Amino acid sequence: MAGTAAIPKPKRGGRWSPWLFAIPALAVYVAFLVYPAVSSLFFSLTNWDGLSATYKFVGLSNYFKLPHDPVVVTAVKNNLIWTVVTIAVPTVIGLVLAIALNGKVHGKPILRLIFYTPAVLPLVSIASIWGWLYNPQYGAINSLLRAIGLDGLAQPWLGQDSTALWAVMVPAIWLRTGFPMLLYLAALQGIPNELYEAATVDGASKWQQFWHVTMPSLRPAHYIVLALSLIDSFKVFDMIYAMTYGGPGTSTQVMGTWMYFNVFQYYQAGYGTAIAVVITLVAIAVGIPYVRSQTREAS
């Protein structure tokens, strides 16, 4: 028949071609993700010190040890405080900035760049900058307090139990505000103006428009921000390691730093990997609803 072409039959073995192309990626996935994960799970059931070739299978004793470790109790408490503060504050500030930048503001691109810049700076640079600012003798924060006559408030912010964790949270909040701001800004620009016009015709105030139009329309953005921030907050390690090294004492220890110290400093790799497995399970438990929601939307 004119205008049609015979469809060539697939060559023998052609149905395996996609799998052959997937082999390199699958090999990398198994080598760098599956194998380390399975190995970590295995070593969490041993008393391996991380160096020697010998170890003993101890079952779940490393996991039973966790609730009786006072540092783990402190780390879990710090993780929870860190999670609540570093999710709530950046999310609220990001939403406020997004609403402000979505309005009639001059120099929007420059303002977006200014507010998002901390999110792309190297974390070590941010930790160093805030370490200088917190310096008890020459830091800008204490110098400013002394300059305005508040000498009594000048203190070693990172050197005492009562302020160290909160002092590390400040640069973390500064760092994390840019992500929700950009996400909310993109979501705000997708809300149809007709919704606001209809609300205005119905006599809704600005607050009522925000609460009944803006907030429900931002529900997908809320979910993404909260899910990713929760996963990121619970596996916090780098900021605390760079600024306080878990100290003073154990006042700023979190599960991530305590896992690191057990594996690489105290040579209790079995116990450390048990902590890592717990962190991973929590991240998976939080991430599954997010992945399911994204899959449902995509389908």
Q: What string of pLDDT tens digits covers the 299 residues of the chain?
A: 444 555 666 555 567 777 888 888 999 999 998 999 999 999 999 999 988 888 999 999 999 999 999 999 999 999 999 999 999 999 999 999 999 888 877 777 787 778 888 888 888 888 889 999 999 888 999 999 999 988 888 999 999 999 999 999 999 998 889 889 989 999 998 899 899 999 999 888 889 999 999 999 998 888 888 888 887 887 789 899 999 999 899 999 999 999 999 999 999 999 999 999 998 898 888 777 776 776 666 56
pLDDT of residue 231: 79
- pTM of the shown model: 0.84
pLDDT of residue 2: 47
Query: Which candidate, 41, 35, 34, 39, places its Cα nearest to that of 277?
Result: 41
pLDDT of residue 224: 84
pLDDT of residue 116: 82
pLDDT of residue 14: 65
Q: From CA 135, how far away is CA 141, in angstroms rounded?
A: 8
pLDDT of residue 225: 87
The domains found in the chain, sorted by start residue, are 40-274 (1.10.3720.10)
